Amino acid sequence: MAIILITGSSTGIGYAAAQTLAANAHTVYATMRNPQMSQQLQQWADAENYALTLLQMDVNSDQSVKEAFNFVMAKEGHIDVLINNAGVGSWGAVEELPLEFFRSDMETNYFGTVRCIKAVLPSMRERRSGSIINVTSVAGKLYSNFHATYCASKAATEAMSESLAQEMAPFNIKIALVEPGVIETPIFGKANEVPPGTHYPNIKRFLSVFAASLENHIQPSVVADVINDIVAGRRTDFRNPAGPDAKGLLAWRSSSPDADWINSTMLGDAGWIAAMEQMGLPVRKYMEAEDLPQL
């Protein structure tokens, strides 16, 4: 069984992945900034006698990452699988979002991933063995208005991962991407508020799509199962969509000419609502409400 380190394990996909992998007899180090906030995960593992350990790590800190990886290496001797899952998300118009949101999304979602990869690669390269799984998003290939900060960070991670996969192939190190669709996780409740008096009323459409999608209540365990399949070798693709809407969203974007994709924002509200309803997204009630949807 594998020695696995997961980032961003306090909630959502990371939490579910830690549980699923531990339940499949792997040794799991579930890292997060504040382990004291997720003691229920440790209690669950202890009750089931699973090999899971909570470990403090902030992917935005060189020192924190170094200490966490050194701890695992000292205890286990190696790390078989690194799962980069820690992430944050912002939304809003490029013009109106403060630069700090661009920096925050990129620092955690991209540089945090790179920081952890650089910490584990020397030992994997020397052993000529290991796997790195980067959790991105369909947003890494499907770029939406009002989602520029998040999409840019996930696109950067996808590009870096594809380059890395080529570098690592001669060393027998596997790189894989997991691309979730809309999953019900706390990331939505942690995002920034839309600036009052925005000049971009179409942001209501953006939020309505997410509100309607979240009605499906797709749980993080769906993504955890994909990650588990990669670790077990049952999935061998580089890109792995996760969730019932992921493949459809990616296919929609790849089949749309760039001009059509960009100009779709020019549709009137009635036409846009009808188009979304044809895709199974009940956005009308959110669009007709006086206030912006709350996710």
Q: How many other C-beta atoms lie within 10 A of the C-beta of residue 50?
A: 20
State residue 294's pLDDT score. 84
| 205 φ/ψ sector (left φ>0, alpha ψ -120 to 50, else beta) | alpha
CA distance 130 to 78: 9
Residue 267 lies in a domain: no
Instruction: Tell me the CA end-to-end span of the chain in Å, nearest whole number.
Output: 39
Q: What is the pLDDT of residue 47?
A: 97
Instruction: Say if 268 falls within a structural domain.
Output: no
Q: Residue 124 has which token pair?
A: 């994997």
Residue 258 placed within a domain: no
Strand pairing partners for 134? Answer: 84, 177
Confidence (pLDDT) at 94: 97
Catalytic residue among 50, 150, 200, 286: 150
Is residue 259, in this structure, part of any structural domain at all? no
CA distance 131 to 165: 10
pLDDT confidence of residue 194: 86
Whether 260 is in a domain gets the answer no
- Give the pLDDT score at 191: 77
Q: Tell me, what's the pLDDT at 192?
A: 83
Cα(115)–Cα(62) distance, rounded to whole angstroms?
7
- 110 is annotated as an active-site residue: no
Interval 118-162: pLDDT, tens = 999 999 999 999 999 999 999 999 999 999 999 999 999 999 999
Give the CATH number of the domain where residue 84 resides: 3.40.50.720
* Structural domains of the chain, count: 1
| Structural domain harbouring 65 | 3-194+217-246
**Residue 252 located in a structural domain:** no
Task: Copy the structure tokens of residue 225.
Answer: 């199962």
Q: With a threshold of 0.75, does the pTM exceed it?
A: yes
Residue 195 pLDDT: 77
For residue 280, is it within any domain? Answer: no
Weakly modelled stretches of the chain, pLDDT under 50? none
Is residue 152 assigned to a domain?
A: yes
